[in-house]
Amino acid sequence: MKIGIYPGTFDPITHGHTDIITRSLRVFDKVVVALAPNPSKHPLFSLTERLEMIRVVMKDIQQVEVTHFDGLLVDYVQRYGAHAIIRGLRAISDFEHEFQMALINRKIAKQVETVFLMTSEEYSYLSSTIIKDVASHGGALTEFLHPEVARQLQERIRSLKT
């Protein structure tokens, strides 16, 4: 069984993320969506909330497992017994950063591959940061997020404004 690990902060999970996850299943038998803590980011949602949102969005896809990890990603990939890291690319700027990460990961663990998937054109502009900005200005979210995730984001934004 070929297993791919798709790491990210997912704050919140967007249609762009789900696009990468579902398309990854064309390459892998199982995709593990691994929530990564990122000390340089200050998530709007807690780890538990983000895990639950991802589980709601992915609930009908049996080949997807949702989890989290601490420490180095390559260590987690090896412990899990996965075959590759999955990364989505929206633009050239994404590639530069992801290329550096793939090289350092390969230096640490030669057997861990990184697979890059280009984001579908309809999601190429989408990021969690942009979506949070749209939400903070009262914009519609249904084109970008699962309805339950949109509801939670709108609720969180409202609570921060009061």
Q: Which residues are catalytic?
A: 17, 41, 90, 128
DSSP category for residue 89? E
3-class SS string, 30-46: EEEEEECCCCCCCCCCC
12 CB-near residues (< 8 Å, 6+ apart): 44, 45, 50, 53, 128, 131, 132, 145, 149, 152, 153
Question: Strand, coil or helix: what is 107?
Answer: helix
What is the spatial distance between Cα 65 and Cα 33, in angstroms, rounded to a whole number? Answer: 6
Tokens of 44: 């709007």
Distance CA(162)–CA(136), nearest Å, equals: 12
Residue 18 Ramachandran class (φ > 0 left, ψ -120 to 50 alpha, else beta): alpha
